[in-house]
Amino acid sequence: MTENEHIAGDEKEAGATHSGFVALIGPTNAGKSTLVNRLVGAKVSIVSHKVQTTRAIVRGIAIHGRAQIVFMDTPGIFKPRRRLDRAMVTSAWGGAKDADLIMLLIDSERGLRGDAEAILEGLKEVRQPKILALNKIDQVKREDLLKLAAAANEVVPFERTFMISATTGSGCDDLMDYLAETLPEGPWYYPEDQISDLPMRQLAAEITREKLFLRLHQELPYSSHVETEKWEERKDGSVRIEQVIYVERESQKKIALGKGGEAIKAISTASRKELSEILEQPVHLFLFVKVRENWGDDPERFREMGLEFPRH
Ligand SMILES: Nc1nc2c(ncn2[C@@H]2O[C@H](COP(=O)(O)OP(=O)(O)OP(=O)(O)O)[C@@H](O)[C@H]2O)c(=O)[nH]1
Ligand SMILES: [Mg+2]
């Protein structure tokens, strides 16, 4: 018997355990990753004010009462242009198809404008039970929320509609109670102390990419990609991490470095600080910027990110 089954077995005596996968889908920037972090109670997925932050599915695992709820944070759905865009959007819909329940997250301030309408249409074709969560309610009036809820439910009949704020936590307890009750009875999928499926090396690369998204502008965040190349635990209890930031052109490398290395230094400091908090050990972080033309068309990079490589 594995440890996991053991936990589930013991729990069963006190009452049935529940478990399942909840896919969070929605337009880019709706707050999906912020919500997953809030519900898991730790940072498992990176967040930025820019669009298209999340690139591949990240699983964040939460426990609520006797339920283990596995949230699948997906890339935002938008009109794809580049190959990477297409892989991201395909991955998001793929995540929805693998879930027990789908939660559509909408930025209440934006409403159904933009990509939300097309996503609602797409959801009509998806067979799983669906719920709606209107996010960022800290930013809008209640009457506007009710109108938005009615308009969305007219297109897709949702099982439930929740009004929440991922940043303040408002409405999140009700949402968790509902999910814990609704997910099927069954043993937990993961050990009880696991909060994510992302290997540490990859989370570390993501944390650096987040700092890059926060610090650099225009096309640069979208033209860059971070990989952890070396991870060395040292005898003194610290860890030495080497990462490469790939950009597409020499001119972008200059911007990523900044005047006198200012930009890369700031990114490195911010990332190192957060990594040492997460790892609870001192971190020596070394960042290198390399030009790799067309990394956005290289199947190996997609594999590294956990994305399928679209042929076109
Ligand atoms: N005011 C407010 N801002 C929020 C809330 N939830 C998220 N945000 C902000 O919205 C922005 C986008 O958040 P993310 O969590 O990265 O959004 P996402 O849906 O994961 O975006 P992509 O990964 O790009 O698809 C960030 O600046 C968040 O701080 C909320 O409840 N209220
Ligand atoms: Mg995200």
At the second CATH level, the architecture of 3-182 is 3-Layer(aba) Sandwich (3.40)
Let me know if the fold of 3-182 is the same as that of 200-304: no
Task: Using the predicted structure, report yes or no on whether residue 6 has a pLDDT greater than 60.
Answer: no
- Pocket lining: 268 vs ligand 1, CB cutoff 6 Å: no
pLDDT tens-digit readout, 264-293: 999 999 999 999 999 999 999 999 999 999
Identity of the residue numbered 187 = P
- Pocket lining: 75 vs ligand 1, CB cutoff 6 Å: yes
Which ligand is the nearest neighbour of the Cα of 107?
1
Every domain of the chain and the residues it spans: 3-182, 200-304
Q: For a pocket test of ligand 1, which of 24, 33, 34, 104 has the largest count of ligand atoms closer than 8 A to its C-beta?
A: 34
Cβ proximity of 130 and 101 under 8 Å: yes
Indicate the pLDDT class of residue 1, thresholds 50, 70 and 90.
very low
What is the Cα–Cα distance from 165 to 106, expressed in whole angstroms?
A: 11
- Pocket lining: 166 vs ligand 1, CB cutoff 6 Å: yes
What is the Cα–Cα distance from 246 to 293, expressed in whole angstroms?
A: 9
- Pocket lining: 34 vs ligand 1, CB cutoff 6 Å: yes
Q: What is the pLDDT of residue 11?
A: 46
Task: Using the predicted structure, report yes or no on whether residue 218 has a pLDDT greater than 80.
Answer: yes
Q: In whole numbers, what is the pLDDT of the chain averaged over residues?
A: 94
Q: What is the pLDDT of residue 235?
A: 98
pLDDT tens-digit readout, 86-137: 999 999 999 998 899 999 999 999 999 989 999 999 999 999 999 999 999 9
CA of 103 to the centre of ligand 2 (A): 14
- Pocket lining: 68 vs ligand 1, CB cutoff 6 Å: no
pLDDT tens-digit readout, 20-69: 999 999 999 999 999 999 999 999 999 999 999 999 999 999 999 999 99
pTM score > 0.85 for this model? yes
Task: Using the predicted structure, report yes or no on whether residue 12 has a pLDDT greater than 50.
Answer: no
pLDDT tens-digit readout, 245-266: 999 999 999 999 999 999 999 9
**Could you tell me the fold of the domain covering 200-304?**
GMP Synthetase; Chain A, domain 3 (3.30.300)
CA of 53 to the centre of ligand 1 (A): 10
Which residues share a beta bridge with 231?
241
CA of 55 to the centre of ligand 2 (A): 8
- Pocket lining: 221 vs ligand 1, CB cutoff 6 Å: no
Q: What is the pLDDT of residue 204?
A: 98
